[in-house]
Amino acid sequence: MPATPIYRTAIEAAWIDYNGHLRDAYYALILSYATDALMDRLGLDAPYRAATGNTLYTLEMHIHYLREVHHSDQVLVGVQLLASDHKRIHAAFGISCVGNAAVAATAEIMLLHVHQGDTVASTPFAPEIAAAIAALASMSADAPWPGPGSRRMELRGR
Amino acid sequence: MPATPIYRTAIEAAWIDYNGHLRDAYYALILSYATDALMDRLGLDAPYRAATGNTLYTLEMHIHYLREVHHSDQVLVGVQLLASDHKRIHAAFGISCVGNAAVAATAEIMLLHVHQGDTVASTPFAPEIAAAIAALASMSADAPWPGPGSRRMELRGR
């Protein structure tokens, strides 16, 4: 689990598919809600969005599916900031089930700070947001990374 | 758009987030439903799953978010098989909006054929499934790939 717990949820019955476990897309939904929680933590919350017209857009998402998650599970999401610049955040997430140390999924998400005006354009973080990003990044700088990193997808022998 | 149309859907109101467009996770849900349609196409459908106890598990998913999708849009998903072996399929998907040639998202998904018994174990495709995979792969072998391929995620200058 990456260093900083950011989100926890039960598993809704509608998220279970014909295979009897959490459908792949609902791992992404849990990650999306965890990203909302990350935005709240960094000051990119609803009042900020309403006041500034700024928000985060997702540019790219990679998920590794490592273990099945079931309706009876509670899941925890941890976050670790791998990198950032003046307008982007590269965040890593780990999803695990309460009571099970093994990671159920890992993910990386690239986020872009934008202003939604007449057009949508990228815009730099304000100093207080940049400071919050730096503070969170420093908290998890030494955390061990629990799973495979992102990579070019290809068939390899196994 | 990759060569073979596989799925089409309207956009549900619940899939729109506070940014006024399709939430990142619901691109994944559309891709998940498109994968179900791909399974039907390859003979890995519900009767097959019930008769054999075999199904596909998602190992990995990468999504590039290229354009916003709105509640008023209808989206089309095309599929292209990039590679396969005796038990895995590496599929590429393109999501586009009806009436707009520009691709809204591209994705790659790695799928593993498994048997769900007392334990879950990977299992080879039967010959008729392998033949269906080969037939679909040959249909899209020459299709131009519409967007960025999967890659290691990292911050680069822009």
Over the stretch A76-135, which tens digit does the pLDDT of each residue have?
999 999 999 999 999 999 999 999 989 999 999 999 999 999 999 999 999 999 999 999
CA distances from A38 to A129, A157, B2 (A): 12, 37, 34
ipTM of the predicted structure? 0.94
A-chain residues within 8 Å CB-CB of B58?
24, 65
* Rounded Cα–Cα distance for residues B78 and B92 (Å): 8
Element (H, E) at A118: none
Query: Which of these, A153, A48, A41, A7, lies nearest to B151 by C-alpha position?
Result: A153
B-chain residues within 8 Å CB-CB of A85?
155
Report CB contact under 8 Å: B63, A65. no
How many angstroms from the chain centroid is the CA of residue B99?
21
Which one has a higher pLDDT value, A146 or A43?
A43
Query: Which of these, B30, B97, B98, B40, lies nearest to B61 by C-alpha position?
Result: B30
From A83, A85, A155, residue closest to B83, measured CB to CB: A155
List pLDDT tens digits, range B51-85.
999 999 999 999 999 999 999 999 999 999 999 99
pLDDT bracket for residue B140 (50, 70, 90):
confident
Q: Distance from A83 to chain B by nearest Cα, in Å? A: 7
Report CB contact under 8 Å: A32, B46. no
- What is the amino acid identity at position A155? L
Predicted structure pTM score: 0.95
Mutate to test the interface with B, among A12, A24, A156 (most CBs of B within 10 A): A24
Q: Give the tokens for residue B3.
A: 């060569």
pLDDT > 70 in chain A, percent: 95
